[in-house]
Every structure is written in C-alpha cells, then in structure tokens.
Structure 1
Amino acid sequence: MASTKSNSTINNLSDDSLTEIFCKLPCKTLFSCKSVSKHWLTLISHPNFHSQYLTHQHTLFQKIQSQGEDPDQPSFILKPYNALVIAPNLPSLQFGPLQNHLSLTSLGPDFEPANIVPQLRSVLKFVFACSNGLLVYGNPRPRHKCVYHVRNPLTKDSLELPRALTLCDHAGVLVGFMCDPYYHLVNENAKVSIVPTSQRRFRVVRIPAFSDTRFAFDVEVFSSETGKWKRFLVSCPKGFACGFFLTSSSVEHEGKLYFMGGGRVLVYDPYDDEREAPVIELPCGFGEAYRGCLGVSCGRLQLSEFPISPSSGFEAHSGRVWMLQHCGKGEETRWELLHEFRLPEIIGPVFQELKSLEVEYMRGCSRILAFHPYLKDTVFLKFGDNIICCNLLTRRFRVCKYGGLSLLFYPVIPIVLPCWPTPIPSPSSLVDPSA
C-alpha cells in the first residue's frame, strides 16, 4: 500500500488555529516568529491579533489574582539604573531570566565622563518616570540642558527628545511622564480593545526645583503631538515648594501626575488648559519628606513614611502606610492609615542577620522604595544593600541582595510591564528649541 504525505503541517493551519497557538506563546517567542514568513509577520503584527492575545493574557491574570499572593512573581532592580521592574507572572512575560532581555541604550560619552570613578557612573544614567511600560530617562547634569529619552526596555525601541528649555540646576528638577495606553479593558470579562496609533499621545513634564513656597511657577511640558517643549505658568492657590528630595518622584494616577514636596502633594494635569494645580496636604504628623514614598497599589494612591524619625516617639525601624480616600463632591480628600509596623517584627531573626551584614556606606539609608501594583499591602523596602518584598498584613516576605550605589542617591522608579509592549507614539515633528 502506497504511503501518502500528510498535509497537516503548521504551514497549512488556518489563521484561527495559528492565532490560538500564538496566544499561548511568550512575547519574545512571538517576536522571533515574525521572521519565519510574511504571513506570520502580518498575522502577529495586526491589532486584531494583539486584542485576542491580550484578552487571553488578562483572563489568565485574573485567575492568578483570584488565587492571592504569587511568590514567584518577577521583580528586580534593573542594574545599574534606579528602576524596579515588576512583571505579572504570565506566559506573555516568560523571558527566562527577564533581566537579560531588558536594557537601556548608552547615552554616549557625555553621560559617562572619563574622570568619574566607575562606582558612580551608574548614577549618571537616571530613570525619571514610567508610564504603561515606557520609561523616560536621561542625565540631570548641573548647568546642562537635559536630553530625555523615551524607551521601551522590552523591544529596545527608543526616541530622543529635543533638549529641555532650561538648564539643570544643582537644586534638581521634578520630572513626570504620562503616555496613553496601547490597550484597555472593555468589560469585566477582560475583553481588550487596542487604541489606534492616531489616538495615542504622551507628555513629559519638568518642574525646576525651588525651596520657597510659591503660588505660581513655571512648568515645562513636551507634547508628542507637536514634538516641542512649551513653558506654562501654573497657578497653585494653596502654594507648593519643590526643593529636590532625592527619594521622591512623580506618580501617574487616573490621568494626573502627583509630585511630592514641601509637606504637600501637587496634582498636575498636563492636558488641562486651565493650568491650575491643586495640592493635597500630607497626613497629620508626617515627618521629613525624604522618608516618604508615594505610589499606586491596586488602583489606589498610597503614601508611606519609613523609617519614622525617633524624635516622633516611634521605635527604631518603624513605618506607616496611608491610602488616599476621595470624599464627596466639594470635600477635601483625606489619608486613611492602613499600616503601622516595625520591620524587626515582620522579618524576625532575618533582621539581625541583615543588620550585621550591613556595610558602612549603606547604614541609615533604609526606606520604602515602592508599593506592589498588584498585591495589596505589599511594599518593596530597602534595608542595607538588600531589597525586601514584604506583605505588611500577612508578614510574608522575600529578600534579594542588591549592591548598587544608585539606590542611595535617587528615587527608585517602579516599572510595571504590560502584557504586550507599548509602542512609542511618534511625534509629528521633533524640533530642538535651542537650535
């Protein structure tokens, strides 16, 4: 009996069958599959496939969330930068050692001066902010106009912006970044809709630091639609002081940017033509601003203070966490105290072990770096040259070692990786205003 060749090869599968297979693969594998054939490239690159793929990934993510804590969820410092990468433990982000697949390009010789000692070169490359998986990074060198880069650390796509309007001062600068998402959930069933490129935009916001309280000040905004920087005078009826605090940074939440400084939180909408910025008072009894961390967890704005100054009557290595409560219309927002804790009580005998290994230049530099975006009551805390991820309620924790000097000087920016890499919206034109 003559044998016949089987036609059931992958090349003969229908698009529906290929889509079903592709939806179960990691992003990295899909990127490689694009080079197999023009047909696969067209299929994987189409927004309709992205929608189906993301719907599948978010359905899995909902199942993971319903099961509670995930001890294997990837999180690590993106060395040598001041960035904390947090990724859902999903098939789409199974890159093997994820650290090996994330990178930021070199900023050139101007950003790595030859006369700087190697241990300090890392702090010259600075991540300012993150939005929907995209980073803004650059070099805040005094007496220079900073050049900012928008970067996708997964795809390694990058966009260089024109030089900022004003020089960087020794007092520093507050930087915010907001980029429209590539996709959003349509309903509770995790159906995903892709946002067309023509409807996506981003803003980079700069506030040159000032230590005195001001009721009006300049804000510089880069618009992706124009490809230019523009200076605006912003009024702040209650006043704001933004002396540069090395452990503070901007936070994006519900279409606004939040900047911490001078005992208050500035709320700024980079798309608002009114150019008036309200402030939120810090909780009563809050200590020094450099001990604070502002962030978002499970869709709510949170604030921490750690370690609390011993002069406040608290024991050593104590901390507090608040959540912002939105009151009724016309009423002021208020902070609700969620946790009051002592680190030695949470991590037990490990505390003394880590304390004994603490090197001299790291002592006294403990602080909360970020809140976990998906796991309630969970914070990332720096103690010595270790990062501790701990749940303040269940007291479950894990410790990983990090020996980077950059964590001593700069805020740590949480990078929350989306299930599909966010394309960088391309400005229609890029004109350097200093040219």
Structure 2
Amino acid sequence: MAATISPSSPNYHASISNTTINNLFDDSLTEIFCKLPCKSLFTCKSVSKRWLTLISNPNFHSLFLTHQHTLFQKTQALGEDLDQPSFILKPYNALVITPNSPSLQLGPLENHLSLSFLGPNFEPTNIVPQLRSVLKFVFACSNGLLVYGNPRPRHRCIYHIRNPLTKDSLELPCALTLCDHAGVLVGFTCDPYYHLETDKTKNAKVSIFSASQRRFRVVRIPAFSDTRSAFDVEVFYSETGKWKNFLVSCPKGFACGFFLTASSVEHEGKLYFMGGGRVLVYDPYENERVASVIELPRGFGEAYRGCLGVSCGTLQLSEFPISPSSAFEAYSGRVWELKHCGKGEETTTTTTTWELVHEFCLPEVVGPGFEELKANESENVKGCSRILAFHPYVRDTVFLKFGDNIICCNLLTRRFKVSKYGGLSLLFYPVIPIVIPWWPTPIPALPL
C-alpha cells in the first residue's frame, strides 16, 4: 500500500510540484478526457502513444458517451429545444444539426466542418446551364457520414464517403453506369458506431458499440419519369468493395422523375425516396431485388412541395406551401407522421398510414415579425419558402427556409429562431440534413 504524504509534511509541496498530467493514472486521465469536447480529444491523440491508446479504446468511448448522455438529458429537461447549433454549411447543400452537448461545443463549428477539400470541381453554382453538373454534390448522410460526388452527364460518377468532423474520407470505385441528364437518386445507409441501451441494474443509459465489422451501402437509381413496376438499381457493398446491379421489382409501381429538392431518407437501415406521388421503400440489406411503396396522404399536393425526414425515430412528411392561390395559403403547411398499424386477421403484413399532426400558417407562428422578415427578403430569393428538414430529436420542430433566412420553429410551442443565410439560393438544391453524433462514426474499411 502506497504511503500517504500529509499536508503538514515538509515533502508535501515538493511532491505536488513534481506531479504532472503524465504522472496521473489512467482512471484520472479518463475522467478528465470525458469532460473535453470531441475536437480537443482528437488533438490529444497526437500528444503521446499513451493518450492515443486511451482515447482510441472503445471502453473510453462508452464512458465518454454515457457521460455526454447524462449532460444531454439535463439540457433537454430545461427545454432548450432551439439552442442547439444548426446552420447551412456554406456554400454547400447541407444543413448541419448538432446536439446541445458539451462534446460538440467546438466554438465556430462551421470552421471545423468546412468542405473546401472538395476542390473547384465541387464548387456550387447558380448558373442555370451548369446547374445539373453540380446539383447534388452532397447526396445523403447516415450516422454522421456523408456521400458526395460530381455527377456530370455522360460520365461515370465517383462517390466519396466523408466524415466532416474528423476529415476522414474514402473514395469508392467508379459507378457502373453513366449519369444521364434526367439525374440519379442516391441513397446511403451505414451501421451506427454506437447505440444507447438501458442498464436495468443501474436504471441508466449506457453506450453499446457495434461490432468492428460494420457495413454501409450506397444505392443509385437512374431517374425515369414514367411509372414502372421494375427498374435498375445499383448497390455498392462495403463488404466486397464492389458495385452490383439489380433489376428491382416494385409491384405497385414507382416513378422517380428528377426533382430538384428531392433526397433520400435513411431510417432503421431502409431507404426512402419520394417520387410520382409515392414514397419508395428499399432495403439494401435484406432484399435487394424487391421494393415497396407508401402512398402519400390523401389531398397531398405536388411532390416538389414535400419534405421527407425523420424526427424522434419516426418518419415524417411535410407539405409547404400548400398552395400559392392566396397570400394566406402561400405560407400554410401541413405535417404528417407515419403510423404502423397492426397485422389484421386476414393479412400477414403490417400496414402503414399517415396521421396529420400539424396544420400551420407561418404568419401566425412568427407573429408581428413576419412582415419584417418579408420586407428584408433579398430580391433574388423573394417568395422562396419550403421546409428543409425535421429536427432529429426535438419533436414538432422543423427547419424552414423563408427567403434568405432559415427558421428553426417548434410548431407546437410557437417558439422559433431565425438565422440569416447569405449563401446560394436553396430553392434549386436538395438540402441534406447532417446530424453530428456525440462520437464520430469511423468509416468502415473496404477489403484489400
């Protein structure tokens, strides 16, 4: 047993002065590291091999995430639902959404997540003749990883997987087919690095890490305007490092005409695409040769007014604006939530239905400040309004583009926050929500 030096001992102060952070035990270092932001921990990895080993250990990740979850619950209990950092990653078509967690208090987060590494070929432009060549350079996001590419007509597109926080990236082999002028729908799903479960012995949330052999899929669907019951789909497998083409059967039919504001949504390993008055459901893990569809709600308008997304683990759909026929309706919207009905006596399948959860008018939500927002609209974006995304973990909250502003708005409490957006017009771009996880998702390695 180590001897304890009393504060009254003449050697006490000498002992304290000789103590440095390098003399601390691993348990003490771990306790310190758990209170640091992610970005600081990445820097600490380069200090020494000991620190690198400690911070890279999944056991440390579990302790770190459990600590962050406890702090996150406290902030949620205070009702700070609009205080999380969120912004458009200028000048790219990505909406960054960050949990209000100490692990992601990085200061000016935009500086850490810059995508300038893409180079001049990926710089966005508003020049209409060149629009399609760079239109969907950021295609999709899953568990903090994003897929980007430059789909030029009559060229094979090369896609990249990127972690915008750690700057890690992976280039995929060239896609199988050429890009057509009609466009292409792209989906992406990646196994999570961690998930939270309840520890019944401690009655608390603990972090559980996925197996080291995690997977991801990139899915390409060349666009077509007519309704088809079978169409080609290309799938990239991280396990093999190769693309594979399938003729996919969709008995109820689907039309995936190219929509400027369309993007895929990943939810529980499945991909959802809007098109032709329906939502295509495709599972690239379990059944690559069959797809199904979900009908849009009765009375739903034109697809380009819709936004599909996930909030609090539930698939949601919005329509905004409902109709431009009057000044009032031009700023009205609706939000539905997908409900899974139980299996009936005469069927073995689970049915789904849309439940209307919100009908709103933006002038009523914003109140007296609405006219001021309208008056401050720039001429080139006047009247450009649409819902960009749903808040991933704050129910009833949407991100709405109004002119050259982004409004984060809780449709239930009527609380909102306005952020000025001075980048490119988002009217022509599919906006991809990037939800930053508490701990960055490592990119699964491809086979050699």
For Structure 1 versus Structure 2, the TM-score category normalised by the shorter chain is: over 0.9
- 2 CA distance for matches of 1:149 and 1:174? 16
Structure 1 position 29 matched with structure 2 position 40 = yes
Bigger drift between 241-250 and 7-16 goes to 7-16
Q: CA deviation at 1:61?
A: 1.7
**SS state of the match for residue 53, structure 1?**
helix
- 2 CA distance for matches of 1:123 and 1:359? 24
- 1 CA distance for matches of 2:216 and 2:442? 11
**SS state of the match for residue 333, structure 2?**
strand
Structure 1 residue corresponding to 2:141, chosen from 107, 130, 136 = 130
Structure 1 position 193 matched with structure 2 position 208 = yes
| 1:328 equivalent in structure 2 | 342
**SS state of the match for residue 203, structure 1?**
strand
| 2:86 equivalent in structure 1 | 75
Q: CA deviation at 1:67?
A: 2.9
Structure 2 residue corresponding to 1:181, chosen from 183, 192, 197 = 192
Q: Displaced runs of 4+ in structure 1, greater than 6 A?
A: 113-117, 119-122
Task: Return closer, same or farther for 1:249/1:392 CA change in 2, 3 Å cut-off.
Answer: same
Q: Deviations over 1:322-365 (max 9, x none)?
A: 00000012352100000101111111122111212222321332
| 1:342 equivalent in structure 2 | 361
Q: Which has the larger radius of gyration?
A: 2
Q: Deviations over 1:150-183 (max 9, x none)?
A: 0000000011111211111121111100001111
| 1:288 equivalent in structure 2 | 302
Contact 1:148 1:160 (8 Å CA) reproduced: yes
Which structure 2 residues correspond to residues 298-313 of structure 1 after superposition, within 5 A? 298-310=312-324
Structure 1 residue corresponding to 2:402, chosen from 376, 383, 401 = 383
| 1:65 equivalent in structure 2 | 76
Structure 1 position 229 matched with structure 2 position 243 = yes
**SS state of the match for residue 271, structure 1?**
coil
Task: Return closer, same or farther for 1:314/1:265 CA change in 2, 3 Å cut-off.
Answer: farther
Q: CA deviation at 1:110?
A: 4.4
Which structure 2 residues correspond to residues 10-409 of structure 1 after superposition, within 5 A? 10-111=21-122, 126-187=137-198, 189-198=204-213, 200-273=214-287, 275-310=289-324, 315-329=329-343, 330-409=349-428
**Which amino acid letter does the alignment assign opposite residue 153 of structure 1?**
P
Q: CA deviation at 1:9?
A: 2.7
- 2 CA distance for matches of 1:407 and 1:277? 30
Contact 2:149 2:158 (8 Å CA) reproduced: yes
Bigger drift between 396-405 and 351-360 goes to 351-360
Q: CA deviation at 1:406?
A: 4.9
Task: Return closer, same or farther for 1:175/1:406 CA change in 2, 3 Å cut-off.
Answer: farther
**SS state of the match for residue 186, structure 1?**
strand
**Which amino acid letter does the alignment assign opposite residue 433 of structure 2?**
P
TM-score by length of 2: 0.90
- 2 CA distance for matches of 1:203 and 1:320? 32
Contact 2:246 2:288 (8 Å CA) reproduced: no
Bigger drift between 402-411 and 127-136 goes to 402-411
Residue segments in structure 2 that go unaligned for 5+ positions in a row: 1-9, 344-348
- 2 CA distance for matches of 1:185 and 1:30? 21
* Length, aligned pairs only: 427
Contact 2:133 2:152 (8 Å CA) reproduced: no
**Which amino acid letter does the alignment assign opposite residue 419 of structure 1?**
W
**SS state of the match for residue 289, structure 2?**
coil
Contact 1:80 1:406 (8 Å CA) reproduced: no
Q: CA deviation at 1:48?
A: 1.1
Q: CA deviation at 1:231?
A: 0.5
Contact 2:338 2:352 (8 Å CA) reproduced: yes
Q: CA deviation at 1:49?
A: 0.7
Residue segments in structure 1 that go unaligned for 5+ positions in a row: 430-435
Q: CA deviation at 1:196?
A: 3.1
**SS state of the match for residue 76, structure 1?**
strand
Task: Return closer, same or farther for 1:35/1:113 CA change in 2, 3 Å cut-off.
Answer: closer
**SS state of the match for residue 344, structure 1?**
helix
Q: CA deviation at 1:88?
A: 0.7
**SS state of the match for residue 111, structure 2?**
helix
Q: CA deviation at 1:66?
A: 2.9
**Which amino acid letter does the alignment assign opposite residue 281 of structure 2?**
V
**Which amino acid letter does the alignment assign opposite residue 440 of structure 2?**
P
Task: Return closer, same or farther for 1:394/1:18 CA change in 2, 3 Å cut-off.
Answer: same
- 2 CA distance for matches of 1:380 and 1:370? 5
Bigger drift between 312-321 and 369-378 goes to 312-321
| 2:430 equivalent in structure 1 | 411
Q: CA deviation at 1:120?
A: 7.1
Task: Return closer, same or farther for 1:311/1:333 CA change in 2, 3 Å cut-off.
Answer: farther
Bigger drift between 140-149 and 263-272 goes to 140-149
- 1 CA distance for matches of 2:358 and 2:257? 28
| 2:7 equivalent in structure 1 | none
Q: CA deviation at 1:131?
A: 0.3
Contact 1:387 1:400 (8 Å CA) reproduced: yes
**Which amino acid letter does the alignment assign opposite residue 209 of structure 1?**
A
**SS state of the match for residue 128, structure 1?**
strand
Task: Return closer, same or farther for 1:298/1:87 CA change in 2, 3 Å cut-off.
Answer: same
- 2 CA distance for matches of 1:67 and 1:407? 33
- 2 CA distance for matches of 1:312 and 1:115? 29
Q: CA deviation at 1:71?
A: 3.2
Contact 2:126 2:425 (8 Å CA) reproduced: no
Contact 1:308 1:314 (8 Å CA) reproduced: no
Q: CA deviation at 1:316?
A: 2.5
TM-score by length of 1: 0.93
